[in-house]
Amino acid sequence: MHILNADKVKYCPEINPDLGEGKTLPGVLYMDKLFFKVLSYHKDQGQEAIRYGRQAFLEGKGRVMFLVVEEEAGFTVWEEDARLKLVEKKRKKRDVVGTIKLDKLVEKMRDVGGVTIKDRFYWLKKYPRCFVGREAVEWFEHFLHISTAEAVGIGQRLVNEKWIHHVCDEHNFENGYFFYRFYVDE
């Protein structure tokens, strides 16, 4: 059994297999071992916490380590459990599509190194100063370092917010060989 100050342990979330998938409870990490909380004691009950920890340690014949941690609010008793595993923190997925400043993006799209804007032909009909949806998607992926789905989402947002449109106004934004044009060129 160890009696420690709170600054000697690392508080962390953990997963307890007995609770089922996805269930978590708080724990501490000490000497590369994980512990779960058994009991909490008030600040003036330090001796009771130590007695409980010592008794539990002896009843387990020293096979399981116990910690008594002195915290600001009182004392906590923690029991080692080899089955516990640290929970991997999941990164929040960033909302690229919703946070891109479209005016700046359109400026970059139209600049040198942006999407190729030129006159194009389809079924002998000329469509002046337009770009191909597939090329725009590839440019978004490269320029913004995003997935194809996010790139298509940005293209659709450009359509929805009236920055670009299909040359015949027949399609939403698609990752294909459809021609699009900027509204400000008209």
Q: At 77, which CATH number?
A: 3.30.200
Tens-digit pLDDT string for the chain (186 aa): 788 888 888 888 766 766 666 677 788 889 888 888 999 999 999 999 999 999 999 988 888 899 999 998 899 999 998 888 877 666 666 777 888 899 999 999 999 999 999 999 988 899 999 999 999 999 999 999 899 999 999 999 999 999 999 998 888 898 888 988 988 764
Residue 136 lies in a domain: yes
Query: What pLDDT score was predicted for residue 41?
Result: 94
Residue 110 lies in a domain: yes
Residues 82 and 103 in one domain: no
Residues 106 and 78 in one domain: no
Residues 157 and 126 in one domain: yes
Q: What CATH number does the domain containing 162 carry?
A: 1.10.10.10
Residues 49 and 100 in one domain: no
Residues 137 and 117 in one domain: yes
Angstrom distance (rounded) from CA 158 to CA 145: 18
Q: What is the pTM of this model?
A: 0.51
What token pair was written down for 32? 């590369």
Angstrom distance (rounded) from CA 158 to CA 164: 6
Residues 79 and 127 in one domain: no
**Phi, psi (deg, nearest 5) at residue 129:** 40, 65
What is the number of structural domains in the chain?
2
**Segments forming the whole domain that contains residue 147:** 96-185
User: Which positions ≥6 away from 37 have C-beta within 8 Å?
Assistant: 25, 26, 27, 76, 77, 78
Residues 63 and 132 in one domain: no
Residues 105 and 181 in one domain: yes
Domain boundary, last residue among 35, 52, 86: 86
Angstrom distance (rounded) from CA 34 to CA 42: 23
Residue 59 lies in a domain: yes
Residues 8 and 70 in one domain: yes
Residues 107 and 150 in one domain: yes
Residues 54 and 121 in one domain: no
Residue 64 lies in a domain: yes
Which residue, among 178, 179, 182, has the nearest Cα to 164 in the 3D structure? 182
Domain boundary, last residue among 47, 67, 86: 86
What token pair was written down for 123? 């079924």
